[in-house]
Every structure is written in C-alpha cells, then in structure tokens.
C-alpha cells in the first residue's frame, strides 16, 4: 500500500504538534504531588506539607466529616513581600485527619501583619483583636511529609518562634505559600 507523500507529511506534522503540546503541559506543572509541597508551622515547628485542593463536589461531601483540621493562611503575606507561612492545627499522632478546611487570617487596622507560629498564637491574636478569621469554604487533602526547609528568592531571615532559633535563607533556596501557589492556578 502506497501512502501519498503529502498525507504522510501531514500526519507527521500533527504527531509532532501533539507531542509538543503534551511536553508544554508536563513542563507547566501541577499543584498535585511534589508541586503541592509547602512549609507550614505547627506549634512553632516548621514542617513540609503536601497540599491538594478538593473539587467543590468533594468538599461538599467531606464538609459533613466533623473530623477536619484547620489550616490558617494569610494570602496578602507579610511586609516586604515575604509570604505568610501557613499554620496547621495538627500533625500525625496529634489527632490529624487528612481533610483540612482553610481559614484566612486578616490583620486588623493598626496591626502590622506578622508570622504566627501556632493555633494557640492565632487564638490569642483573635482574642486581643489583632486578627479576624474567615472560613473560605475551601477544602484540602493535606499530609505532613516531613520537616521543612524553606528558602526565598532573596536573602531573608526566617524566625522559628520564641525559642530564638532563626534560619538565614539565601537566593538558592525555595519558599512558597499556599496563597502564592493558589494565585498561579486561578
């Protein structure tokens, strides 16, 4: 069977274009798996979590599950363009469930945004009027996958809390907040 040269060339062109398009999708990344990794504080300790937003239908069904955890975020970030690192209210062996409801932190007028390090600090900040909390009605599957290493695109000092331990991040290190990750995919 003889295939006309023009038809063969057209088929080859379509296959090459399709393969190129698939490579673009692969390079674009996904918030699933490794790309969904981010730092989060739990009781003044920095962990790495894997974060995946559930669809509205999944979230509606799972919202009936009374054993959800809370992840606190402040999408506007901190002064100087630094991200607010999320705060979680549980880790494995402390009543953690993989279902997480997002709650946004808003700093009230007259209070400079700052990093909070635990759900107890958040409760104290609410009680003092420093912040308000607003449920987002967004549900996530979240797993704590280890101790975090965080970095920034510029040099910055990131404190781990009242213990006085600090980490100096350099331009070769990586950091991300869920607010920044969400902005990429909206």
Exposure string (b/e) for 123-161, b if CB count within 10 Å is 16 or more?
eebeeeebbeeeeeebbbbbebeeebebbbeeebebeeb
Confidence of residue 70 (pLDDT cuts 50, 70, 90): very high
Q: Residue 32: is its pLDDT beyond 70?
A: no
| HEC string for 24-46 | HHHHHCCCCHHHHEEEEEECCEE
Q: Indicate the pTM of the whole model.
A: 0.63
pLDDT at 137: 83
How does residue 142 score in pLDDT terms, banded at 50, 70 and 90?
confident
The mean pLDDT of the chain is 72
Q: Which of 185, 161, 178, 186 is nearest to 40 (CA)?
A: 178
The confidence band for 5, taking pLDDT boundaries of 50, 70 and 90, is low
Model confidence at 66: pLDDT above 90: no
CA pair distance 143, 38, nearest whole angstrom? 11
CA–CA dist 27, 16 (Å, integer): 17
pLDDT of 176 reads 52
Residues 6+ apart with CB under 8 A from 33: 50
Residue 179 DSSP SS3: helix
**pLDDT more than 70, % of the chain:** 58
Select the more confidently predicted residue: 81 or 56. 81
Give yes or no for residue 17 having a pLDDT over 50: no
pLDDT, mean of residues 98-109:
93
């Amino acid at each position: 069977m003889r295939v006309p040269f023009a038809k063969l060339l057209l088929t080859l062109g379509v296959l090459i274009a399709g393969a190129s398009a698939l490579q673009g999708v692969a390079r674009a990344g996904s918030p699933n798996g490794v790309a969904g990794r981010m730092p989060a504080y739990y009781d003044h300790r920095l962990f790495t979590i894997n974060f995946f937003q559930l669809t509205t239908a999944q979230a509606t069904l799972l919202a009936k599950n009374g054993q959800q955890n809370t992840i606190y975020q402040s999408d506007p970030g901190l002064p100087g363009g630094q991200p607010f690192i999320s705060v979680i209210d549980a880790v494995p062996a402390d009543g953690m469930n993989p279902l997480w409801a997002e709650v946004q932190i808003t700093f009230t007028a007259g209070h400079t945004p700052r990093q909070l390090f635990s759900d107890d600090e958040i409760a104290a900040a609410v009680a003092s009027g420093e912040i308000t909390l607003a449920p987002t009605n967004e549900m996530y599957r979240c797993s704590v996958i280890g101790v975090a290493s965080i970095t920034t695109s510029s040099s910055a000092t990131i404190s781990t809390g009242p213990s006085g331990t600090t980490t100096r991040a350099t331009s070769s290190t990586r950091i991300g907040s869920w607010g920044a990750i969400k902005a990429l995919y909206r």
